[in-house]
Copies of this chain bind each other. A is one copy, B any other.
Amino acid sequence: MSRIDGRTPEELRPVTIQRGWSKHAEGSVLVSFGDTKVLCTASVTEGVPRWRKGSGEGWVTAEYAMLPRSTNTRGDRESVRGKIGGRTHEISRLIGRSLRAVIDYKALGENTVVLDCDVLQADGGTRTAAITGAYVALADAVTWMHGRKLVRAKAQPLSGTVSAVSVGIIDGIPMLDLCYEEDVRAETDMNVVCTGDGRFVEVQGTAEGQPFDRKELNNLLDLAVAGCAELDALQRAALAELEQIAKG
């Protein structure tokens, strides 16, 4: 049985990771998971928020947003409505936590990296694409910091790698990396964030229709772990390419 777009249940959509997209940011990636496109920029500033000053430790945070017409129907701008919605808040926090899971604050020193993940086009899985792309932007920003000697020569601010993928159950079948149409139909929807060694940073499973049992949960986790391993390889390949054409 094949999926809407012809994939098998355990197949990712075509994934591209384009580094050096922006001339200004210290790290920048245009990541696509099929038709989902997210621009991830990493902005480095010396110093940390007030509550962390003098600790010798750095900070990493993230902000997620969707362009108003990244979706099929135009959404109001949160800036115009004057407040950030719950979904935006939730995803921004998830991205931040996921990246902080692989940061060694001491090695980062008192520097701050802000990851901005702006969805240019949405077709399901925007938060998992954002995490996957933001990791690469962050890695480029760390390289940039080494070049500027903002971190000590032997410091390794990144203690691991991180990627994320969605999984869900549709018509009883567990599937990897849902596109929007699948996401809408899924009975259970799960987002899983893994490190490169296959451990979990975040597991967020939600029953959209019927509650799910332990066996279904296990099947979903198996799929997600395999998907993250593939994404990890793609991230490594992207980072192995010739030097990005970024901020001189």
Contact = CB atoms under 8 A, between A and B. Distances in A.
Interface of A: 22-25, 28, 35, 39, 41, 43, 45, 63, 65, 67-72, 74, 77-80, 82-90, 92-93, 97, 101, 114, 116, 118, 120-123, 160, 190, 194-195, 197-207, 210-214, 217, 221, 225
10 contacts: A22-B121, A23-B35, A23-B121, A41-B68, A67-B118, A68-B116, A74-B116, A86-B92, A199-B207, A200-B207
Contacts of A74: 43, 45, 114, 116
B77 A86 contact: no
A101 B189 CA distance: 13
Given A69-B24, A200-B217, A206 B79 contact: no
B202 A207 contact: yes
Given A63-B80, A201-B211, A207-B101, A41 B23 contact: no
Main secondary structure of the interface of A (DSSP, over half): mixed
A199 B68 CA distance: 32
A23 B43 CA distance: 29
B83 A86 contact: no
Nearest to A79: B78
A200 B63 CA distance: 30
A123 B23 CA distance: 10
Nearest to A35: B23
Nearest to A28: B69
Given A89-B89, A92-B86, A121-B22, A204 B207 contact: no
Contacts of A199: 207, 210-213
Nearest to A44: B74
A151 B237 CA distance: 50
Nearest to A69: B41
A90 B86 contact: yes
A210 B159 CA distance: 10
Contacts of A82: 82-83
Given A198-B213, A202-B205, 7 more contacts: A24-B72, A41-B69, A43-B69, A45-B74, A67-B116, A74-B114, A214-B225
Nearest to A137: B69
